[in-house]
Amino acid sequence: MNNRKENRYYQIGAFVLLAIFFVVFMFPFAWMIISSFKTQVDIMAMPPTWIFTPTFKNYTHVFEGQEFGWYIVNSFVVATLATLASLVLGLPAAYGIARSRMHSLGFTILVARIIPGITFLIPWFILFSKLGWIDTIQALVLAHMLVTMPFVVWVMIPFFEAIPSELVEAARVDGCTEQFAFMRVVLPISGPGIITASILAFIFSWNNFMFSVILTGAHTKTLPVAIFGFLSYSEVNWGGLMAAAVLITLPVLILALFTQRYIIRGLTAGAVKG
C-alpha cells in the first residue's frame, strides 16, 4: 500500500530535519570551544578554519594576574550560599503552602516572576549603599535569593502536595510534632524535588548578570560581570574571550548533562499538569 511508503519518507524527513535542528542548536557551543583553542590569526582566517594547531595560550592568558580564579571562587560562593539560604527559607514555606492550601501566598511569590528585576535594584542599591554593603557577598546573596527563593517554592509546592497526607498523619499519631514530621518524614522522601530545586537555583545564581553588575565591585566580581568587562578593551582578544566563555559555561553544562532528568522536570514544573 502507498501509505506505508509515504510513512517511510516521512520518517526519513523527520530524521533529517531533527539532525539539522540539532546541528544549528549545538553550533555556537562547538564554535566557542574550537575558537578558544585558536590563535588570534586563526580566528581571523577567512574562510573559517576547522583544522589548525591548537593553543592553550588563551586559557593561560585568562588566568594571568590570578583575578579570574577569584571570580570563579566568588561565583561559586555566592551561588552556593544563595541556594542554601533559599532552601532554608523556601522548603518550609512551600510545605506550609502545600499543606494548608494557601495558594494566595503561592501566587504572591510568583508575582516576583512578573515584576521587572530593576524595580528592586534601585531601592536595594540605595539601602546597600547606606549600609556600606555594595561589593559585599551578603548583598549579592540576598539579591540572588530574589530569583532563587521563589523558584524553590514554585518547584517544591507540587512535590509536597503529592506526598500522601496519611504519611504525615501517621507520624503525628506516633507523637511527632509537625516540625519533627517535616524534618524526619517529609524532607527525606523529597530528595528528587530538593535536588531539582537546588540545581536550578544554583544555575540561576551562577548565571545572574543584572543584579551582579550593579552590586559587585573589585572584591566580589562574579564571572558574568568579569567576562563582560573583557569587552571594554579596545581590540577584542577573541581567543581569550572564548576561553573565558568556556570556563564560565562548562560547570553549568556539565551539571546540566548529569542531572538533565531533574532539570527538565524543574523547568517545566507548573507548565504541564502532573
Q: Could you give the 3-state DSSP secondary structure of residue 168?
A: helix
Q: Could you give the 3-state DSSP secondary structure of residue 101?
A: coil
Scan residues 159-188 and list those touching other proteins (CB under 8 A). 177-179, 182
**14 contacts other proteins (rule: CB under 8 A):** yes
Nearest CB to other proteins, comparing residues 61 and 99: 99
Q: How far apart are CA 185 and CA 182, in angstroms?
A: 6
CB atoms within 10 A of CB 30: 11
**73 contacts other proteins (rule: CB under 8 A):** no
**17 contacts other proteins (rule: CB under 8 A):** yes
User: Is the previous residue joined to 123 through a cis bond, with omega within 30 degrees of 0?
Assistant: no
Selected from 113, 162, 192, 219, the binder of other proteins by CB under 8 A is: 113
DSSP state of 182: I
Least spacing, CB of residue 113 vs other proteins, in Å = 6
Nearest to 35 by CA among 274, 218, 241, 182: 241
Scan residues 20-49 and list those touching other proteins (CB under 8 A). 21-22, 24-29, 31-32, 35, 43-48
Per-residue string for binding with other proteins, 124-163, x by CB under 8 A?
A: xxx--x------------x--xx--x---x----------
**112 contacts other proteins (rule: CB under 8 A):** yes
Report in angstroms the alpha-carbon separations of 145 from 73, 74, 150, 205: 18, 16, 8, 8
**264 contacts other proteins (rule: CB under 8 A):** yes
How many residues touch other proteins under the rule CB under 8 A: the total is: 97
Least spacing, CB of residue 60 vs other proteins, in Å = 19
Selected from 88, 167, 170, 183, the binder of other proteins by CB under 8 A is: 88
**107 contacts other proteins (rule: CB under 8 A):** no
Scan residues 188-247 and list those touching other proteins (CB under 8 A). 203, 206-207, 209-210, 213-214, 223-224, 227-228, 230-231, 236, 238, 241-242, 244-245
Q: What is the 3-state secondary structure (H, E, C) of 211-266?
A: HHHHHCCCCCCCHHHHHHHHCCCCCCCHHHHHHHHHHHHHHHHHHHHHCHHHHHHH
